[in-house]
Structure 1
């Protein structure tokens, strides 16, 4: 296996929960801010499961789940990530909204630079001949917890950061674990690989 030491096709241990492998492009808040978000009581509800600070992110593009690590897909996405050309993005999340199953931070207004980053990624994914997950539609948000409850929306004091790094994440669905496979600085031209 060539991508960051992952072993491909390793069978699951007996009685272990089913784990799916998901790859996605994302931007993430700085860890200090992510820890503040994780610990905030403003949107926390009893019985909820918080998303760990190091898993907080805004998904930009996402791909189908796989029963084993999709090595070839990861290699192609690493090349696509290198080719993305975009400027750093000022993220402003000033609303918290709850669905029946989760609570997320969202922007009340469109963030044009984030839309441009999404389009730049989509372009490189298309050039690579890949198809994103068909049921995904770009709607910027940071999921902060999972819970059962009634839908709601409320304004909050803005949470801000400058996203200056694009990441390719390997999510182990079922284990709530995110591993970063690649990082690229957002510099407005062909990206500089950090990993």
Structure 2
């Protein structure tokens, strides 16, 4: 009986062991439309992050960003979709917008900077990108119209900190003048920029 159980466990574990032996990439590949702050603003955010004591695992300066939209999670790099999104963004004229982050909120999951008020310009950018990409992403069953409701402007500064109720902080702001199509290798702390789309300015 014991030998049969050991044999059964061995058979169940074998496929997983074979995947590891074959170098199977089990990384989640998440595709986003992001905006990165300029270097100077990223420096402001990082100095606040480091002095705040609100995070045990800080987000590195080069990965500080605000998410505009999400195009899906995949078990490998979605190269065809990346190419389709790049094509759809080509020639697309959308206005730049101002983002102002003046509130900090934190907890065990994450600490983030966010605005205290709605940002109509940011929402208009989300809606414009959603309209442009709706047909491309509909095949994946994604309702990009939900971006405006579900993805609120914020910059995550780190993780594993104490609970902190929302409170005002010295504002940081910048003009979002370009959108980045980024593949995030979840769990590996890596961003791959596949495209940069400039926005129009007044």
Report the counterpart of residue 68 of structure 2 in structure 1: 60
Kept after mapping to 2: 8 A contact 1:165/1:183? yes
For the residue of structure 2 that corresponds to 1:101, the secondary structure is: coil
Of stretches 142-151 and 49-58 in structure 1, the one that deviates more from structure 2 is 142-151
Kept after mapping to 2: 8 A contact 1:165/1:186? yes
User: Partners in 2 of 1:112 and 1:52 — Cα distance?
Assistant: 28
1:43 to 40, 43, 52: 52
For the residue of structure 2 that corresponds to 1:64, the secondary structure is: strand
User: Partners in 1 of 2:99 and 2:20 — Cα distance?
Assistant: 39
Gaps of 5+ in 2: 1-18
State the Cα RMSD in Å.
2.6
Report the counterpart of residue 124 of structure 1 in structure 2: 132
Report the counterpart of residue 158 of structure 2 in structure 1: 145
User: Partners in 1 of 2:153 and 2:65 — Cα distance?
Assistant: 10
Report the counterpart of residue 98 of structure 1 in structure 2: 106
User: Partners in 1 of 2:124 and 2:32 — Cα distance?
Assistant: 17
For the residue of structure 2 that corresponds to 1:118, the secondary structure is: helix
CA apart distance, 1:82: 2.5
User: Partners in 1 of 2:193 and 2:126 — Cα distance?
Assistant: 18
User: Partners in 2 of 1:12 and 1:72 — Cα distance?
Assistant: 26
Of stretches 37-46 and 169-178 in structure 1, the one that deviates more from structure 2 is 37-46
Of stretches 26-35 and 153-162 in structure 1, the one that deviates more from structure 2 is 26-35
Of stretches 53-62 and 81-90 in structure 1, the one that deviates more from structure 2 is 81-90
1:161 aligns with 2:174: yes
Question: Which has the larger share of helix?
Answer: 2
Aligned residues: 178
Kept after mapping to 2: 8 A contact 1:63/1:133? no
For the residue of structure 1 that corresponds to 2:90, the secondary structure is: helix
Matches within 5 A, 1:63-78: 63-78=71-86
For the residue of structure 1 that corresponds to 2:116, the secondary structure is: coil
Report the TM-score, using the length of structure 1 for normalisation: 0.80
User: Partners in 1 of 2:26 and 2:53 — Cα distance?
Assistant: 28
CA apart distance, 1:139: 1.0
Of stretches 61-70 and 101-110 in structure 1, the one that deviates more from structure 2 is 61-70
Report the TM-score, using the length of structure 2 for normalisation: 0.77
